[in-house]
């Protein structure tokens, strides 16, 4: 797996809610998805692009977007605060040279 050519990166936010001492605690953490020519790398997984069929997104506001990875194991959703269009376009160009 050649990971030397980083093509695009997008930051996603993971929100965790917990109850501590009777109070709701919300913790937000930021992570990056890295798109290479043949793999998509997150902190928890590395997906070969042959197993990622498509990437789509839904925009709710300037800082609220959902990015959907359509994979061989189902759909994985990421909350991305920035516009994901560039990331999606780069992916589609890799998967379809005529895009």
- Domain range spanning residue 47? 6-95
Residue 21 lies in a domain: yes
Contact 96, 24 (CB under 8 A): no
- pLDDT at residue number 1: 45
**pLDDT tens by residue, 20-67:** 999 999 999 999 999 999 999 999 999 999 999 999 999 988 788 999
Whether 13 is in a domain gets the answer yes
In a domain, 83, yes or no: yes
Query: What order do you get walking across the sheet with 23-36 strand by strand?
Result: 46-48, 39-41, 23-36, 6-20, 74-80, 64-71, 52-61
- Say how many domains are in the chain: 1
Check if the beta carbon of residue 91 is closer than 8 Å to that of residue 8: yes
Q: What CATH number is attached to the domain comprising 36?
A: 2.30.29.30
Confidence of residue 4 (pLDDT cuts 50, 70, 90): low
Distance CA 53, CA 5 (A): 20
| 64 vs 10, residue with greater confidence | 10
DSSP label at 2?
A: -
Does the residue 1 lie in any domain?
A: no
Give the single-character DSSP code of 73: T
**Is the pLDDT at 3 greater than 80, yes or no?**
no
Per residue in 77-97, pLDDT tens? 999 999 999 999 999 999 886
The H or E element spanning position 31 is: strand 23-36
């Amino acid at each position: 797996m050649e990971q030397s050519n980083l093509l695009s990166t997008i930051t996603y936010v993971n929100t965790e809610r917990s109850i501590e001492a009777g109070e709701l605690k919300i913790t937000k953490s930021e992570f990056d998805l890295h798109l290479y020519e043949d793999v998509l790398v997150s902190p928890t997984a590395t997906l070969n692009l042959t197993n990622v069929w498509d990437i789509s997104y839904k925009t709710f506001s300037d800082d609220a977007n959902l990015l959907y990875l359509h994979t061989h194991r189902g759909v994985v959703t990421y909350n991305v605060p920035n516009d994901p269009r560039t990331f999606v376009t780069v992916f589609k160009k890799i998967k379809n040279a005529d895009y």
